[in-house]
Amino acid sequence: MSLKLFDLSGKRALVTGSGQGIGLSLAEGLGRAGARVVINGRDEAKLARAAEQLSAQGIAVEQSAFDVTDPKAVVEAVDAIEKDHGPIDILVNNAGIQRRAPLEEFEVDTWREVMRTNLDSVFFVGQAVARHMIKRGRGKIINIGSLMSAAARYSVAPYTAAKGGVRNLTFGMCTDWARHGLQINAVGPGYFATPLNQALVENPDFDRWLKARTPAGRWGRVEELQGAVIFLASPGSDFVNGQILYVDGGVLATL
């Protein structure tokens, strides 16, 4: 019985920004738990390579290339998935970018790019999928926040603002949609060795600082996020709503 609580067999999961890095790992984890996964990104060639990698592991995978920052394209793509493939039972809003600069030098266009990708997309895709979930009276939405949803670091203030918005939007989605049978939660990753963080991984000073600052003493591995997302996507979390689960090796727990 306990294992059935985390069984995703027969479910379809859309994971945005899943051509590489954390998104691809989350798609893999959901697939291994039994879900059919729909991977998303703008680069069709990258998606095809990711789909091949998942298929080689025996994971049922579909591809949907669309721009999560374009609300019209989002609605069209979500409606097409629902019509052509079947209901989206699980949504993971993972798409994100990072841009670094001192805040006083940050370009307005770059600020807007960070907001569109990291925050607006969560609203666009979340709303489009929720409209279908509400009709069915069930659904799981998992927004990928960040350690920066609760803290800040030099040169990434816009990212921090966007991820703080993801946390609060998660609260708002829960407040509006829990009554319809949906569970909406977030995961807040700490520092993981991903393409998004490559500049930090390759910086010896930052690498030393991070390992000293993190109680676990190391960078996270992307596969270590899979369990949290599987839990929030599964029947095991049916009364968990409006929460953000930090997976950070203990960074937020200590000064």
Whether 115 is covered by a domain: the verdict is yes
pLDDT at 198: 85
CA distance 229 to 215: 22
* Backbone region of residue 15 per phi and psi (left: phi > 0; alpha: psi in -120 to 50; beta: other values): beta
Which residues, in sequence order, are bridge partners of residue 192? 220
pLDDT at 75: 98
pLDDT at 131: 98
Whether 130 is covered by a domain: the verdict is yes
220 three-class SS = strand
Whether 253 is covered by a domain: the verdict is no
Residue type for position 239: F
Catalytic residue positions, numbered: 159
Residue type for position 30: L
Contact 39/45 with Cβ under 8 angstroms? Answer: no
Residue 56 corresponds to which tokens in the numbers above? 């080689």
CATH number at residue 139: 3.40.50.720
101 three-class SS = coil
What's this model's pTM, rounded to 2 decimal places?
0.97
pLDDT at 124: 99
Whether 252 is covered by a domain: the verdict is no
Domain total in the chain = 1
Q: Which residues make Cβ contacts (< 8 Å) with residue 178, sequence separation at least 6?
A: 184, 241, 242
Whether 85 is covered by a domain: the verdict is yes
* Residue 103 DSSP class: G
Contact 118/166 with Cβ under 8 angstroms? Answer: yes
Contact 246/46 with Cβ under 8 angstroms? Answer: no
Q: Which residues make Cβ contacts (< 8 Å) with residue 54, sequence separation at least 6?
A: 24, 27, 28, 31, 37, 39, 61
Domain range for 15 is 3-247
Taking CB atoms within 8 Å and a gap of at least 24, the contacts of 51-58 are 53/24, 54/24, 54/27, 54/28, 57/28, 57/31, 57/32
Residue 66 corresponds to which tokens in the numbers above? 């669309």
140 three-class SS = strand
* Residue 235 DSSP class: G
What are the pLDDT tens digits along the chain (255 aa)?
Answer: 577 999 999 999 999 999 999 999 999 999 999 999 999 999 999 999 999 999 999 999 999 999 999 999 999 999 999 999 999 999 999 999 999 999 999 999 999 999 999 999 999 999 999 999 999 999 999 999 999 999 999 999 999 999 999 999 999 999 999 999 999 999 999 999 887 788 889 999 999 999 999 999 999 999 999 999 999 999 999 999 999 999 999 999 998
CA distance 167 to 186: 7
CA-nearest of 173, 23, 8 to 95 is 23
